[in-house]
Homo-oligomer: A and B are copies of this chain.
Amino acid sequence: MMLLAAALTHAHVPIFLLSVALMLGLARLFGEVAKKLRQPAVLGEILAGILLGPTVLGEVAPLWFNQLFPTDSPVEAGLSALTGLSVIFFLLVAGMEVDLSMAWKSGRTSLIVSLMGIFIPFASGFVLAFAFPGFMRVPFGVDPTIFALFFGTALCITALPVISKILLDLNLFRTDIGVIIVAAAIVNDLVGWLLFAVVSTLMGVDGKDSSSIGKAIAGTLIFVGVMLTVGRVCLHRLLPWLQANTSRTSGVMGFAMVGALLCAALTEWIGIHAIFGSFIFGVVLGDSRHLKEKIRTSFEQFISSVFAPLFFASIGLKVNFLQHFDPVLVVVVLAVATVGKVVGCGYGAVLGGLPRRAALAVGFGMNARGAMEIILGMLALQAGVIGEDLFVALVLMALITSMMGGACIQKLLVRKRELDFSELLSAGMFKLRLSGHSRDEVIAELSALVAARIRIPAEQIAGSVLERESVVPTGIGNRVAVPHTRLPGIRKSCVVVGMSENGVDFDAPDGEAARIIFLVITPERDTGAHLQILAAIAKAANEPTVAEELSHATNYSEVVSALRNIEELH
């Protein structure tokens, strides 16, 4: 008759709430930091768990650790229920990102890449694990064949979300090579998870005879078959109805979550893991062209900001990462995984006709394993198929391959990252109240702010800006002006922002004095950056809501917050 009830009594409630708050809070925080550093959020989220878990908090303050995350208590049951739901919803979204139509249409090259990228890593993983069970720490009593099957599967996983993110960042998503990588990753994902489903029926093998394994495999195939045909048609029909008759986003979201839970319950009952059902449901749901982009985006945002951090933080809670860190094992796993994937996919790409450099880029892209690998490792650990040492090695391999992916592609294809406007700004290059009253005074003030940073005398900057100003005035209307110049000898673009209470005349077409002045300085040779920055500011100034927010801004954060609206307008 209790709310946090029966098992969760009054004494447990504050602890449960505090644990959830700490997990979510730290994981979100570190996830954001990781993103700022252009790394996958999962890196930060797992780190948060490691800090809160036995590795750090458990060593530093074991009493606190045992208070916060008690074992054998209803608090643990509550947390495990919550993280269990979280991973189910995470896989739902991961499935939604799989674009089936892209897989069907994927050309010969991506097919070869994905098949080679499955076969070679799987084979090398299987052989390694089968040949050296001792080194790989096969737990006592585990059938070496099953262990080797699992390890092979683990090496052939790729992380579609990480790969998509890398390609988007490098502005490669819509290019030929981007399409090849994504299509290959999709096929790889589907085959990989099917393999996993089969292996997972074998993993919980203890009490099972071969007939129950056969039943589970048959059940899996029937489930996948039905979902991809009947389920697909039904969902395709149902979605417009839902979007027409319920509260839109929340109606579809509720439906998606319920569907994922039902499929998860079904697959768990069949004997394969719950997340497989949720993943397949996501694939089928995401495949319908009726699913509106807006709904898809806001749904993904929720899951990745609430459920994903909770789940990944919980991973760090389970294992002592320092105690089970075996450097040799980590290096071997990382090496075999990377070599297998890069050689497999790269060779596939060469066979498919790509030049060698591009083929290598494909290999390193497909090598990113991200969250998927970690989830797979977690399940194997739970099932007792692998030991904690190998689990730690798999997690590190997943993180390192993901971090490598972007850097390698960038290097190999000599790509520039897409310009992120808010990165150009900094609190030190912002002046809330400009004292100057004329154009020349204001430009001198702003030039002085940036002079030290770019190591060019303020007078020289101001002079160059004014020269440009004399050719074309830079007031762009809506009280915004963008004096600018291109300077030799600097390496990075920068933007200095100043606000003037009374306004300064920059000869704008609408005749209004400028209240917000962006001084834009770019390297002489980088014409692209120059135009991009000016266009972004002009776009912001033209958007009424942004202009409104800008004119009310009273500190640096508010200016940045207003400008970030531009990114959403894309």
Q: Are B80 and A378 in touch, CB under 8 angstroms? A: no
| CB of A112 closer than 8 Å to a CB of B | no
* Complex CA distance for A88 and B3, rounded to whole angstroms: 11
Partner pick for A77 among B81, B84, B251, CB 8 A cutoff: B81
**Min distance, Cβ A308 to any Cβ of chain B, angstroms:** 10
* Complex CA distance for A567 and B24, rounded to whole angstroms: 35
| CB of A551 closer than 8 Å to a CB of B | no
On whether A564 and B243 interact (CB within 8 A), knowing A258-B25, A265-B14, A265-B21, the answer reads yes
| CB of A561 closer than 8 Å to a CB of B | yes
* Complex CA distance for A79 and B3, rounded to whole angstroms: 9
On whether A32 and B246 interact (CB within 8 A), knowing A8-B77, A78-B81, A305-B253, the answer reads yes
Give the contact stretch, choosing among A184-192, A296-304, A448-456: A296-304
* Complex CA distance for A72 and B2, rounded to whole angstroms: 12
Q: Which residue of B lies closest to A564 (CB)?
A: B244
* Complex CA distance for A302 and B247, rounded to whole angstroms: 11
**Min distance, Cβ A93 to any Cβ of chain B, angstroms:** 13
On whether A17 and B80 interact (CB within 8 A), knowing A318-B1, A382-B1, the answer reads no
Give the contact stretch, choosing among A217-225, A337-345, A516-524, A552-560: A552-560
**Min distance, Cβ A360 to any Cβ of chain B, angstroms:** 32
Q: Chain A, 1-32, contact with B by CB distance < 8 Å: what is the 0/1 string?
A: 11111111010011111101100110010001
How many chain copies?
2
Most buried by B among A6, A36, A244, A262: A244
| CB of A290 closer than 8 Å to a CB of B | yes
In the complex, which residues 516-570 of chain A have their Cβ closer than 8 Å to any Cβ of chain B?
Answer: 555, 557-558, 560-561, 564, 568
In the complex, which residues 68-114 of chain A have their Cβ closer than 8 Å to any Cβ of chain B?
Answer: 71-72, 74, 76-85, 87-88
Q: Are A7 and B265 in touch, CB under 8 angstroms? A: no
Q: Are A13 and B84 in touch, CB under 8 angstroms? A: yes
| CB of A215 closer than 8 Å to a CB of B | no
* Complex CA distance for A10 and B257, rounded to whole angstroms: 21
Partner pick for A17 among B13, B78, B88, CB 8 A cutoff: B88
Partner pick for A240 among B15, B255, B378, B558, CB 8 A cutoff: B558
Interface pairs A-B: 3 shortest CB-CB: A78-B81, A250-B305, A4-B84
Q: Which residues of A contact B (CB under 8 A)?
A: 1-8, 10, 13-18, 20-21, 24-25, 28, 32, 35-36, 71-72, 74, 76-85, 87-88, 204, 240-241, 243-251, 253-255, 257-258, 261-262, 264-266, 268-269, 274, 290, 298, 301-302, 304-306, 309, 318, 378-379, 381-382, 422, 555, 557-558, 560-561, 564, 568
- Provide 23 A-B residue pairs closer than 8 Å at the C-beta atoms, listed in order of the A residue: A1-B382, A4-B81, A4-B83, A7-B77, A14-B268, A17-B261, A17-B262, A17-B268, A18-B265, A20-B261, A21-B258, A24-B257, A28-B246, A74-B77, A240-B557, A240-B561, A243-B557, A244-B422, A244-B564, A247-B305, A248-B568, A250-B306, A302-B302
